[in-house]
């Protein structure tokens, strides 16, 4: 069976066909290409109108990519985080908002698959994500607490087997369009702000009342409005493991790997435009490179660094993925935090170099060489859990871990 013959409804493994496993990479590529085409076609309008990229997310549903991380036994494709980051990169080249929505959704699904196994409520939700292609949003930012995820104000209220939670959710990307929300909260009313739990909730168990709009410089299609989030339902919505553990093992590593891949995709799209500009200029002047060519080379250099940083961290995560101690180590936690800082800065740097390579044609908001949208989208990267916050949080830990003795230590 080759890729073209593979049914769209078939899981990628578990059918006893080894060739299917071999084709797995190209099958994801094929499905991703269909989503990327839909995303690219509406990218300008999504940005202009600050509207949800419906065609792209509908295509992701049709291609069953929203459930790609769900294990085969629960109806998904059993994809790896590495598979997900490839999709994020490809979508990032087409439409940053679609890619970021996909990345945020997959981060929530990664928490569900790893920390929901063994809990009948969460296993049922896994099956629903795969079968119904549910889109999950994230609510971590609360009140004026900014990106301080490891501290919550709102607490879970318990009444027998039922719980309730009301959160001042300052930002929930695609909150209005999502089928479910994964959110953090204080364990109980008398728990410390860092004693948190994670909850997975679907539409029937929550209401959203809009408190803030989303008129932003970039990432406009993420529709990251503010809401009052009110949850009521069974206590089983709470994950069995403490959020502290989920944060270290899944939430933060997968978020940083997938977001970074989105930003690399945005940077790659800007580099592609700069390449076309330089080629056209060279053709028009008998092969003579325009003066901005050096900026194009700089853009290529920082894009190469960005991709290498992400792949090194992907490998680092893959070898530790099921080793709890290694995941919790100071070295790994510092490195995966620094990935976010480094990738976000490199993405902005790359897009800036691409813009300088294109000159006015890049600065314009119209025309085939415009990189204005890419720059506005990339500028969200250093703020999305602010780099300053991350650097100050890991300052003490990085003092405690030794300086590597060898290149591959
Ligand atoms: C495109 C996009 C989508 C998002 N989607 C979601 C979502 O779906 N769900 C969600 O919950 N959140 C979401 N967020 C919010 C995000 O996760 C962060 O919470 C938010 O970007 C931080 O907001 P802030 O800059 O107001 O707060 P802060 O992090 O408090 O930063 C404010 C200022 O304080 C400075 N600062 C903060 N801490 C320190 C420190 N320790 N040392 C030095 N300076 C510091 C920063 O540099 C910055 O200047 C999204 C953000 C973006 C950009």
**SS3 state at 364:** coil
In percent, the amount of the chain with pLDDT more than 90 equals 89
Distance (angstroms) between ligand 1 centre and the Cα of 149 equals 10
The number of helices, as runs of H, and strands, as runs of E, in the chain is 14, 7
The pair of structure tokens assigned to 37 is 């085409």
**Does residue 386 have its Cβ closer than 6 Å to ligand 1?**
yes
Contact 97, 377 (CB under 8 A): yes
pLDDT per residue as tens digits for the range 106-120: 999 999 999 999 999
pLDDT at res. 403: 87
Compute, in angstroms, the gap from residue 17 CA to the centroid of ligand 1.
46
pLDDT at 407: 87
User: What are 196-240's pLDDT values in tens digits?
Assistant: 999 999 999 999 999 999 999 999 999 999 999 999 999 999 999
Could you tell me if the CB of 225 is within 6 A of ligand 1?
no
**Residue-wise DSSP of 192-240:** -TT-EEEEEEEGGGEEEEEEE----SS-GGG--EEEEEEEEEEGGGB-S
Which atom of ligand 1 lies nearest, measured to the CA of 383?
21
The span from the CA of 105 to the CA of 177, in Å, is: 12
Closest alpha carbon to 300 in 339, 273, 338: 273
pLDDT in tens, 67-106: 999 999 999 999 999 999 999 999 999 999 999 999 999 9
- Backbone φ, ψ for residue 201 (5° rounding): -130, 140
Distance 386 CA to ligand 1 centre (A): 5
Q: Please give the Cα distance from 165 to 170 (Å, whole number).
A: 15
Q: How many residues does the chain have?
A: 409
Give the pLDDT score at 270: 98
- Confidence band for 187, pLDDT divided at 50, 70 and 90: very high
313-338 confidence digits (pLDDT tens)? 999 999 999 999 999 999 999 999 99
Q: What is the position in ligand 1's atom list of the atom closest to the CA of 174?
A: 8
Q: Which of 213, 197, 76 has the alpha carbon at shortest distance from 134?
A: 76
Residue 210 has φ and ψ, to the nearest 5°, of -65, 130
How far apart are alpha carbons 121 and 200 in whole angstroms? 9
pLDDT for 8 equals 44
Q: Is 40 exposed, middle or buried, given 0-12, 13-18 or 19+ CB atoms closer than 10 A?
A: middle
Q: Is the CB of 392 under 6 A from ligand 1?
A: yes
| Helix residue ranges, H only, 321-364 | 324-328, 330-358, 360-363
Instruction: Quote the pTM value.
Output: 0.95
Please give the Cα distance from 145 to 307 (Å, whole number). Answer: 32
Are 88 and 258 in contact, with CB atoms under 8 Å apart?
yes
Contact 46, 53 (CB under 8 A): yes
CB of 309 within 6 A of ligand 1: the answer is no
Phi-psi region of 118 (alpha: psi -120 to 50; beta: other; left: phi over 0): left
CB count in 10 Å sphere of residue 394: 18
């Amino acid at each position: 069976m080759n890729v073209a013959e593979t049914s769209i409804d078939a899981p990628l493994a578990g059918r006893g066909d080894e060739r299917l496993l071999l084709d797995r990479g190209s099958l994801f590529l094929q499905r991703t290409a269909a989503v990327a085409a839909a995303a690219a076609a509406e990218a300008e309008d999504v940005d202009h109108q600050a509207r949800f990229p419906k065609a792209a997310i509908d295509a992701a549903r049709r291609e069953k990519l929203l459930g790609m991380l769900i294990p085969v036994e629960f109806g998904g494709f059993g994809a790896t985080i590495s598979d997900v980051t490839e999709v994020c990169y490809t979508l990032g080249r087409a439409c940053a908002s679609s890619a970021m929505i996909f990345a945020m959704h997959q981060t929530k699904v990664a928490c569900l698959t790893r920390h929901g196994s063994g809990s009948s409520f969460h296993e049922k939700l896994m099956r629903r994500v795969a079968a119904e292609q549910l889109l999950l949003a994230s609510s971590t930012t609360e009140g004026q607490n900014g990106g301080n995820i490891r501290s919550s104000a709102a607490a879970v209220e318990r009444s027998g087997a039922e719980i309730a939670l009301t959160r001042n959710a300052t930002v929930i990307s695609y909150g209005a369009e999502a089928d479910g929300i994964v959110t953090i909260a204080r364990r109980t009313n008398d728990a410390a702000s860092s004693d948190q739990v994670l909850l997975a909730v679907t539409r029937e168990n929550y209401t959203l009342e809009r408190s803030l709009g989303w008129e932003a410089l970039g990432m406009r299609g993420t529709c990251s409005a503010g809401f009052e989030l009110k949850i009521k339902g069974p206590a089983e919505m709470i994950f069995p493991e403490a959020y502290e553990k989920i944060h270290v093992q899944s939430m933060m590593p997968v978020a940083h790997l997938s977001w970074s891949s989105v930003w690399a995709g945005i940077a790659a799209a800007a580099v592609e435009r700069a390449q076309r500009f330089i080629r056209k200029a060279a053709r028009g002047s008998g092969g003579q490179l325009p003066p901005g060519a050096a900026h194009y080379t700089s853009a290529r250099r920082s894009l190469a660094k960005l991709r290498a940083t992400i792949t090194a961290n992907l490998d680092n995560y893959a070898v530790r993925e099921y080793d709890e101690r290694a995941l919790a180590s100071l070295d790994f936690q510092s490195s995966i935090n620094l990935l976010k800082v480094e990738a976000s800065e490199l993405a902005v740097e790359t897009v800036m170099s691409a813009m300088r390579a294109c000159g006015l044609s890049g600065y314009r908001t119209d025309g085939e060489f415009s990189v204005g949208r890419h720059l506005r989208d990339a500028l969200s990267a250093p703020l999305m859990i602010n780099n300053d916050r991350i650097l100050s949080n890991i300052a003490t830990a990085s003092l405690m871990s030794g300086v590597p003795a060898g290149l591959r230590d």
